[in-house]
């Protein structure tokens, strides 16, 4: 059914595209919100991605790959928003991290701000691959499709992103541990 | 610290799905923008080759007049270029050669040869790209359609029916109003690209295939592997794009950090390709003039 909608939209049917946009909006927003860590920027990224997707849709080669293709538009729109944020915003309005209860390991990091800080210090490209992996839960092939890179490249990028995140968390945790040691 | 931080587990929690809800106003705003936004045409590496924009109607009328005046001599030439070869009936001859002669200036002049064979490379014209600097030969039943005006660059917007980043050649034997094109251009090798292996070249094409000015990806079929150079085998490949069986050839220059692409439009049944045995064979014939040939048995790059 979706394939029919995509093909209709490729032929210029705005109603068909509106259905596709509405059914994908929440997922797109979830991706963008996590990459950008800012609700307003995420909304802008989704809006921008939908407009670009509409414009470029006739060039989509395989309608069955619409979702991965649309997510690629969104990731690129998120990169653009991240660049815009860097240029224009000095104080970042962070998301409240009010997800499911944290397991011990996350709680043991003292507070979520450390995770938030670490994640925001990653470049958008690394944030994107982490979001696709941990939020969407998709495999390397799907990540490669969204990011338009071979699965092997996705694997190595994911590895480096994990390593970078770990390094940031450890760097953040180190002074605290040292300070604690001195006070005891 | 008791051990290494398990970043993956932390990220599983930190990025866990929640009830994300995109406000309706965002969708409505996007749809309002879309209502004012035209869609781009489905222009990939373009095998559709609309020639009329390049030809004024007056020129076309003049070309028709040339056909009438030149008469039988031109028809002999045309017959010899068609799939039927010499001896075909004049009524089967397309009006391509006079049109071509009236609109472009190929450096070869085969029309005066009654037994002209377009597949004979000795009669081919040579062409040097002013932008990219390479020199190549092209079949003498083809002509230069447009010259590259600047180098290819990533993200360049596509303007329909204009390819200023490519040297474009045309064969003007029309089928249902379309004819064949050959696009030759170079792209910078992506950082870390492996230009010394066939797989590396295919990876490059895979990575760049969604660029607006490339915008079509190789099929899952393994590439046709070729070698550039008579002594060492510098890798070259021909891949078929995934939407239509139209081939693109690629070979790299590791020192310059560039990859040269030859994209040829239109399927095998167009006369300009059929006389070679298809588009792949035509592309191989063009590449052979650049010392790109089949690898010897067991030969691999370097």
DSSP single-letter state for residue B122: G
> B116 is written with which tokens?
């002209």
In chain A, which residues fall in CATH 1.10.1740.10?
A: 1-89
Residues of A in contact with B41 (CB under 8 A): 58
Residues of chain A with CATH 1.10.10.10: 102-184
Q: Kindly report the average pLDDT of chain A as a whole number.
A: 81
Closest CA to B233 of B201, B205, B207: B201
Q: How far is CA B139 from CA B227, B238, B277, in A?
A: 21, 19, 14
**Interface test with chain A among B12, B26, B154, B216, by most A beta carbons within 10 Å:** B26
Contact B203, B191 (CB under 8 A): no
B23–A43: do the CB atoms touch at under 8 Å?
A: yes
Does residue B105 have a pLDDT over 90? no
- Inter-chain contact B14–A99, Cβ cutoff 8 Å? yes
Q: Determine, for residues A149 and B207 on separate chains, whether the beta-carbon distance falls below 8 Å.
A: yes
Distance of CA A86 to the CA centre of its chain: 17
How confident is the model over B236-258, as a mean pLDDT? Answer: 84
The segment with the largest mean pLDDT, out of A17-26, A166-175, B89-98, B132-141, is A17-26
Specify the pLDDT at position A25: 96
Q: Average pLDDT of A99-114?
A: 56
Q: What is the structure's pLDDT at B45? A: 39
Fold of the CATH domain B104-293: Protein Transport Mog1p; Chain A (3.40.1000)
Whether B58 and chain A come into contact, CB under 8 Å, resolves to no
Q: What mean pLDDT is reported for chain B?
A: 72
How close, in Å, is residue B264 to chain A by CA atoms? 18
pLDDT for residue B115: 55
pLDDT band at B163 (very low <50, low <70, confident <90, very high): confident
Q: Choose the closest CB to B243 out of A51, A61, A130.
A: A61
Q: What is the pLDDT of residue B179?
A: 75
- Chain B nearest-CA distance from A90, in A, is 24
Instruction: With a cut of 60, say whether residue A33 has pLDDT above it.
Output: yes
Average pLDDT, integer, range B99-109:
34
Answer whether 0.80 is exceeded by the pTM: no
A29 and B21 in contact by Cβ < 8 A? yes
Contact by Cβ (8 Å): B216, B243: yes
Range in A130-134, B44-48, B161-165 the model is least confident about: B44-48
- The beta strands (E) that lie in A25-184 are given as none
Q: For position A104, what pLDDT does the model report?
A: 52
pLDDT of residue B73: 29
For chain B, the straight-line distance linking the first and the last C-alpha, in angstroms and rounded, comes to: 50
What pLDDT does residue B138 have? 94
Minimal-distance CA residue of chain A relative to B215: A59
In A, which residues are within 8 Å of B16 by CB distance? 99-100, 134-135
How high is the pLDDT of residue B82? 31
Task: Indicate whether B99 pLDDT > 50.
Answer: no
| pLDDT value of residue A142 | 92
- CATH code, residues A102-184: 1.10.10.10
Verify whether the Cβ–Cβ distance A169 to B27 is below 8 Å: no
Residue B130: which of B89, B95, B167, B163 has the closest Cα? B167
Question: How many Å lie between the alpha carbon of B196 and the closest alpha carbon of chain A?
Answer: 18
For residues A106 and B13, the answer to whether their CB atoms sit within 8 Å is yes
CB contact under 8 A, B9 and A56: no
- How close B163 gets to chain A, by Cα (Å)? 17
Is residue B29 classed exposed, middle or buried when 0-12, 13-18 and 19+ CB atoms within 10 A define those classes? middle
- pLDDT category at B236 given cuts 50, 70, 90 is very high
Pairing type for strands B258-264 and B178-188 reads: antiparallel
**Rounded to a whole number, what is the distance in Å from the CA of A179 to chain B's nearest CA?**
13
Name the pLDDT band for A3 (thresholds 50, 70, 90).
Answer: very high
φ, ψ (nearest 5 deg) of residue A146: -65, -45
pLDDT greater than 70 at residue A80: yes
What distance in Å separates the CA atoms of residue A45 and residue A48, rounded to the nearest whole number? 5
Q: Give the mean model confidence (pLDDT) for residues A28-57.
A: 94
Which of the 8 DSSP states describes residue B218?
Answer: B
Determine contact, residues B184/B200, Cβ cutoff 8 Å.
no
Q: Which of B191, B172, B193 is nearest to B181 (CA)?
A: B172
Query: What count of residues does chain B have?
Result: 302
**Which of B35, B40, B243 is facing A56, going by the closest CB pair?**
B40
Domain boundaries of chain B, sorted by first residue: 104-293
Most confident of B11-15, B73-77, B230-234, B264-268: B11-15
Residue B27: which of A21, A103, A115 has the nearest Cβ?
A21
pLDDT at B96 over 50: no
Beta carbons of A53 and B39 less than 8 angstroms apart: no
pLDDT (tens digit per residue) in B42-88: 544 344 444 333 333 233 333 333 333 333 222 222 222 332 233 33
ipTM for the assembly: 0.80
Contact list in B for residue A100 (CB cut-off 8 A) is 13, 16, 18
Q: How confident is the model at residue A149 (pLDDT cuts 50, 70, 90)?
A: confident
Q: Which has the closest alpha carbon to B213: B189, B231, B186, B236? A: B186
What is the architecture, at CATH level 2, of domain A1-89? Orthogonal Bundle (1.10)
B260 pairs with which residues across the strands? B186, B251
A169:B5 CB<8 A: yes
pLDDT the model gives residue A111: 63
Task: Find the CB nearest B7 among A131, A162, A174.
Answer: A162
Residue positions counted in chain A: 184
State the Cα–Cα distance between residues B28 and A22, nearest whole angstrom: 9
């Amino acid at each position: 059914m979706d394939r029919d909608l995509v093909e209709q939209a490729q032929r210029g049917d705005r109603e068909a595209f509106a259905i596709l946009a509405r059914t994908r909006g929440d997922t797109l927003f979830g991706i963008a919100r996590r990459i950008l860590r800012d609700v307003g920027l995420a909304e802008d990224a989704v809006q921008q991605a939908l407009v670009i997707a509409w414009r470029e849709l006739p060039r989509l080669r395989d309608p069955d790959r619409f979702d991965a293709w649309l997510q690629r538009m969104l990731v690129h729109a998120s990169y653009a928003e991240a660049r815009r944020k860097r240029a224009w915003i000095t104080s970042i309005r962070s998301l409240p991290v009010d997800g499911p209860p944290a397991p011990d390991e996350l709680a043991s990091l003292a507070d979520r701000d450390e995770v938030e800080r670490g994640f925001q210090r990653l470049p958008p490209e690394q944030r994107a691959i982490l979001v696709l992996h941990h939020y969407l839960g998709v495999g390397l092939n799907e990540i490669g499709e969204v990011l338009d890179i071979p699965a092997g490249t996705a694997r190595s990028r994911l590895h480096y992103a994990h390593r970078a995140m770990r390094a940031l968390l450890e760097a953040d945790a180190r002074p605290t541990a040292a300070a604690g040691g001195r006070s005891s | 610290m008791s051990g290494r931080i398990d970043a993956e587990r932390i990220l599983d929690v930190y990025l866990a799905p929640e009830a994300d809800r995109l406000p309706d106003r965002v969708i409505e705003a996007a749809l309002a923008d879309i209502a004012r936004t035209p869609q781009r045409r489905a222009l990939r590496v373009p095998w559709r080759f609309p020639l009329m924009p390049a030809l004024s109607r007056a020129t076309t009328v003049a070309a028709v007049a040339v056909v009438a005046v030149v008469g039988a001599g031109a028809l002999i030439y045309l017959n010899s270029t068609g799939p039927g070869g010499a001896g075909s009936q004049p009524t089967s001859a397309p009006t391509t050669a006079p049109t071509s002669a009236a609109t472009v200036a190929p450096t070869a002049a085969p029309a005066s040869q009654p037994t002209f064979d377009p597949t004979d490379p000795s009669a081919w014209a040579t062409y040097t790209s002013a932008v990219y600097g390479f020199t190549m030969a092209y079949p003498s039943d083809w002509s230069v359609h447009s010259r590259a005006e600047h180098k290819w660059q990533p993200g360049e917007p596509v303007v329909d029916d204009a390819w200023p980043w490519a040297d474009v050649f045309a064969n003007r034997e029309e089928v249902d109003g379309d004819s064949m094109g050959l696009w030759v251009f170079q792209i910078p090798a992506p950082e870390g690209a492996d230009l010394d292996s066939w797989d590396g070249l295919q990876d490059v094409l895979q990575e760049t295939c969604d660029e607006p000015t490339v915008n079509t990806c190789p099929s899952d079929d393994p590439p046709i592997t070729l070698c550039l150079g008579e002594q060492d085998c510098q890798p070259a490949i021909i891949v078929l794009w995934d939407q239509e069986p139209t081939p693109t050839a690629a070979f790299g220059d590791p020192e310059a950090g560039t990859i040269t692409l030859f994209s040829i439009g239109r399927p095998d049944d167009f006369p300009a390709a059929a006389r070679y045995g298809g588009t792949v064979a035509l592309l191989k014939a063009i590449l052979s003039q650049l010392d790109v040939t089949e690898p010897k048995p067991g030969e691999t790059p370097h």
